[in-house]
Amino acid sequence: MRAMALLWGLLIGGMAQAQVYKCVEGGKTVYSQEPCGTKPQTLDIQRSTPRPGSFAETQSKREDYIRANPGLSETVKGAIRGGVAVPGMTEDQVIAAMGAPLRRNLTQTASVSMWQWVYRYGSGRQHYVYIENGLVVATN
């Protein structure tokens, strides 16, 4: 499923940039993907910011986080880019990778406090990230 989303993101990202020709025909301005007339005026159209809520926006935010935190290990960078949590990540890194959790459940014993962060995939399936002392200790 994640591979399909990446493929769509690449396809849509490729379509966001195109060569457009501006022509005046019979007194009317016409835009086309094909050159027209003897002196077509070309316009380079490129989306400067991704659409809110899009896969491209999510990836852009992840890359921004990685650039703002140059000391990240390659493992953590890969996890953030892939939108997953791995043991050893901080809470901030999990949020950068996966966003805010749907729910946070706290389990306390005499010796430990552990958080269970609950995420839900589009399919309805739940995913859990377990955090102890501010670090991911396990995921499912």
Name the pairing type of β-strands 28-32 and 17-25. Answer: antiparallel
Residue 16 pLDDT: 46
Positive or negative: CA dihedral 12, 16, 17, 23:
positive
Pick the more confident residue, 14 or 26: 26
Nearest residue to 63 via CA among 76, 46, 48, 77: 77
Q: Does domain 52-140 have CATH number 3.30.1450.10?
A: yes
Which pLDDT band holds residue 34 (cuts at 50, 70, 90)?
Answer: confident
Contact 39, 27 (CB under 8 A): no
Tokens at 78, concatenated:
């890969």
Of 67, 112, 70, 76, nearest to 94 by C-alpha is 76
Query: Domain segments of the chain: what residues?
Result: 18-48, 52-140
Cα 60 from Cα 105, distance rounded (Å): 29
The pTM (predicted TM-score) of the whole model is 0.64
